[in-house]
Amino acid sequence: AQKITQTQPGMFVQEKEAVTLDCTYDTSDQSYGLFWYKQPSSGEMIFLIYQGSYDEQNATEGRYSLNFQKARKSANLVISASQLGDSAMYFCAMREKEGGSEKLVFGKGTKLTVNP
Amino acid sequence: NAGVTQTPKFRVLKTGQSMTLLCAQDMNHEYMYWYRQDPGMGLRLIHYSVGEGTTAKGEVPDGYNVSRLKKQNFLLGLESAAPSQTSVYFCASTQSGTVNTEAFFGQGTRLTVV
């Protein structure tokens, strides 16, 4: 079963508008971490934001915020005031303990295109 | 501050050839991971290591072997390359003990098997 599901293969947004990228996860652990990474066309993986399973407040980092709904097991990324440079692949990831060790698993990604 | 360094950055192999990808990190991280990235598939975990001398299978381990003889290095080996192993390979490392630390990635290795 897929641990991380990103249902939007591609998204389009107008410059300066906000956009939400969806992510749902599956785990039976109580302690886990959720991450979002950005991959521009140059290929590197850039860490954006983190949300812990015990965090009561939604994480924010500049124009990025994470809409964390624990009961629904969703961790959507919200990008406010989109910029042309936000065009990239975005990956949701989860780190959880499994069998005494920690694995980091990724979703399939969402390709975001920001239109001028 | 090198972080995570992958060698080589690009490689073309013929079917049946072998090669080793090297991942080196200078952050004293316990955990290291190897992923492959294919279009539409995201990053899939091949193997990972929770410390020096340990390795474990990930989601897609077949056709690959790994070794972690030194804490700072994690090697990914292809014994007999196949065209299906054409992919971009990423190495990552992270601290252990808690789930709240981000993973640091290498720049990727683009491998083509012809």
What pLDDT shows up at residue B1? Answer: 61
What pLDDT shows up at residue B4? Answer: 96
What pLDDT shows up at residue A1? Answer: 60
What pLDDT shows up at residue A30? Answer: 87
pLDDT in tens, A28-45: 888 889 999 999 999 999
What pLDDT shows up at residue A41? Answer: 95
In Å, how far from its chain's centre is CA A57?
16
User: For residue A9, is the peptide bond before it cis, meaning its omega torsion is within 30 degrees of 0?
Assistant: no
Name which of B23, B21, B19, B20 is nearest B2 in CA terms. Answer: B23
User: From the CA of B62, how many Å to the nearest CA of chain A?
Assistant: 18
- Amino acid identity for residue B108 in this structure: G
Which residues in chain A have Cβ-Cβ distances shorter than 8 Å to B32?
A: none
Q: Do B100 and A101 touch (CB under 8 A)?
A: no
User: From the CA of B4, how many Å to the nearest CA of chain A?
Assistant: 12
Name which of A72, A75, A56, A55 is nearest A64 in CA terms. Answer: A75
- Coil, helix or strand for B83? helix
Successive 10-residue mean pLDDT values, chain B, 114 residues: 90 97 95 94 93 92 96 96 97 80 92 97
Is the torsion defined by CA of A65, A83, B90, B14 positive or negative?
A: positive
